[in-house]
Amino acid sequence: MSEVFVKLFSGKGTNELAERISKSYGQALGQCSSQRFSDGELSFSYNESVRGCDVFLIQSTTPPTDNIMELLLMIDAAKRASAKYVTVVIPYFGYARQDRKDRPRVAIAAKLMANLISAAGASRIMTMDLHAGQIQGFFDIPVDHLDGTAIFVPYIRSLNLQNLIFASPDVGGSARARAFAKHFGAEIVICDKHRKRANEIASMQVIGDVEGKDVVLVDDLADTAGTISKAANLIKEKGANSVRAICTHAILSGKAYENIEASELEELIVADTIPLKKESSKIKVLTVAELFAQAINNVHNYGSISSLFINN
């Protein structure tokens, strides 16, 4: 039986992280080309053979939507070039916030994304810290859902915070905060918020005692950073000693950087699943390259993915 070779390719949306993953894996990225017609239409091709190979395509589906279209073209091109397996590595899975019908006549964009990726010909999905874990069920192909605690917990532990307590910026994220608290034997508090519309908070209150505590807010992403900034300010008003935040995916759109700089946050700890638009003294970036490289190796060699979780 002939050996199945691994080939890694990167889309334009996550090229820096893809370079780090390939370096950690010990193999250079494959050669490919993405071109654009005068009207903006994308064209994609591989510059080397992928026939019979185990192909891993690395691309976060961040805005603009060209990144999604490029990923779909990458999958289709790999299938048509006779790749044996096509694993789509999506460090940040976009449109995940639209995962249900929370009001009449709306699209469930996360399910649509899953349909598009599956229809394009992906054999497997690898991602990290989905907005809601049940999105895995939108796919009819295997999903490897990596856990950001593997990189964030060691960093928080290195800070040696004396009165550590974890907080969720909303009721829906309490399970995520509780997962972190479990590693430290710590308690959690919840910031109950009410929105008038997307990206606009009408009111917020803290449920729990934070006085004299070193608080770490936990969320899956930071978009305008309005929620995390308001929560940090409110927690500080309630007598907290310090406030930090962990947000895996740093979307950071609109006035996000201004909100972070003006907030009581000592630091915002993020992963490099999305490249930062600019540097900030308050933003600490941790790389997930080694974690994804190990996951790619384990998938190729039929190893365990759960072995990469910090619980193990």
Active site residue ranges = 193
Does residue 117 contact residue 154 with C-beta atoms inside 8 Å? Answer: no
- The DSSP element (H or E) to which 306 belongs, if any, is none
Question: CA 4 to CA 82: how far, in whole Å?
Answer: 13
**Which residues lie closer than 8 Å to 72 by C-beta, 6 or more apart?**
116, 117, 120
Residue pair 53/6 in contact by the 8 Å Cβ criterion: yes
Helix or strand (DSSP H, E) at 244: strand 242-250
**d(Cα 168, Cα 178) in Å, to the nearest integer?**
8
Return the residue matching tokens 């999105």: 135
Instruction: Give 208: exposed, middle or buried? Use CB within 10 Å, 0-12, 13-18, 19+.
Output: middle
| Residue closest to 263 by CA, chosen among 307, 229, 216 | 229
Separation between Cα atoms, residue 263 and residue 260, nearest integer Å: 5
Single-letter amino acid code for the residue at 312 = N
Residue 176: count of CB within 10 angstroms of its CB = 22
For 247-265, letters b (16+ CB in 10 Å) and e give bbbbbbeeebbebbeebbb
For helices 66-80 and 109-120, the axis angle rounded to 10 degrees is 30
